[in-house]
Structure 1
């Protein structure tokens, strides 16, 4: 092989070095998928906050099995089914959504990033998808409505011991334009989230030598925490306590379907029951007047060894029939995961951890980046499968 010295004129076009960019937009643009945003979030967020999002109950078996279930699904390509454009729009809970997924309810959100629900709801509004506010959120229904006017807002309610307090909160949500209610039924008591116990997580966080040292490596988070309004539960009391104590003081392990029936009687909008995993509970929920169902294992954060939502989905769909709207929640980390859920019987999906990874990585812009990544992954996946819209997806396009 003959060799020669390279010419400067030949080297010059190859020497295009990128300038180092430290601004938020440039950093987020380098994320190729949600897992990249998770890595950014872990670097930028104190351990108690990151572990609250990333962790699950007890040995975290359910969350691991959920990921394995998604990874085990084969998506079947149909050759020579040319699809120039993919239509990702859909309808859910009586309204339009630009994408077949929305943002799930998450608690303590401003602990993860100071922009919290303000950033999440604004990003959802800009993307044309629903945003769900949690009972244990750090912004009130009124504040979310103000932060993202014109957005599509849903509200998540836990079944409380105190019906009057629940009724007052529902009235506030409805008056603020929250159109759909997700009633979470899988939290009679708090799940044993061992990472939170080991981290001594409280709301608001207590300043110990350990937490100060941990936060010192994340100056932006620390600065934002100290210079924004105090972190409290906007819909609850502002008292400080460990998380299981807060939850167990609110909820009642003796709650029954009669309590769900009461919520149905006082809520005028669409009502979805969140936490359904079996045919029996599907039927019971529909019998008390639920408009739709959210198949969810709470992200593996309640009962460890609970059924995997994706695997429970076909059973719930078979019992509910084709006319009932079903949302899949828990474990979604990619557009392909959403496609798999739609193929297996879901009408819509919710993102929880994925949304919070984006929030921790870059506030509102990070949430927008998550939505953008998932939408693009869905588009490419569906084109490769020969599916032009969500209506084209079904069991014939997957192998489990």
Structure 2
């Protein structure tokens, strides 16, 4: 069959691609070494971030960089020996974070983000995932008035150019809306459009059930080799091999392991992140996810407790976990939210976010290797952009003359 494809990676991005291609009549085989959604898609704040039209920039303020230099910030941690290999990608990242370039990037980043709610709801209607979404948005709180005012200015820009909706709360409004938080905060922004998942991994599991019910095959095996075969490609697993004209690589931070042997070396680095679930000592507890803007962690109510997520850790992808990022985030979270109770998990969870030097995902065919298609590098927004990426990939593989968004900004060859 010419409409046959192997999708490698069963996170939200890979599953979304598989579902969209399946809906267009493609024969899809999905591969992963782990059960669906148990990689990076398992652990995050669970937010579908309609407001996140600006990618996460590299700090350019000297005072902010100085705070990170001491490696005592819960917002960002780093391991010294990991920094030299990251330098080329960091330099490109720093340049792309210049205010004028960041606004240009937002145009392309926001082109995907602005479709995230409708695309998530479209897949929810085809699966049994609808009950996992909680409306109401999330709240970004500020301890410093100047930071609050700066974010309001950015929110005005987002509303004007990207139809982002929000409410600005002063200190009194914040105390009234979220009385369980400590008093004395400068203010908050309530981003009203986003959705929150009550259990992120359950979304991937719902997608997989629908995929299999429609005849899709899921191969739970580690891939050993990826080689050309006839007019297509062969994937060899531990005990099974398969061939197809197209292979879509959507393995997140592990995609780079497969594209390097194919001659493609984009400036990709990994931001690691942790989470831990806690009980709540107050009643009622937090009704909405809350981001501490200065400290960089999120408190998100979920089925299994209140999830505390950390900021970014810059380390080698496969380094051993560290307790320090979560320890720093927990200290800050207990000051902000006195109702934070005891840890509920045996140990923290660690995940890996693949990021590119220009902060845009890599989506498109690998020109020097016909039949290979890439979909990774979504930085912090793989969950948010997953269904939208799936729709775009399906349109591109189908050869649609005019996809719903211009795919050129995300093309792999921009990093030739």
Under a length normalisation based on structure 1, what TM-score does the superposition of the two structures give?
Answer: 0.27
Structure richer in strand, relative to its length: 2
Under a length normalisation based on structure 2, what TM-score does the superposition of the two structures give?
Answer: 0.26
Rg bigger for which structure? 1
Structure richer in helix, relative to its length: 1
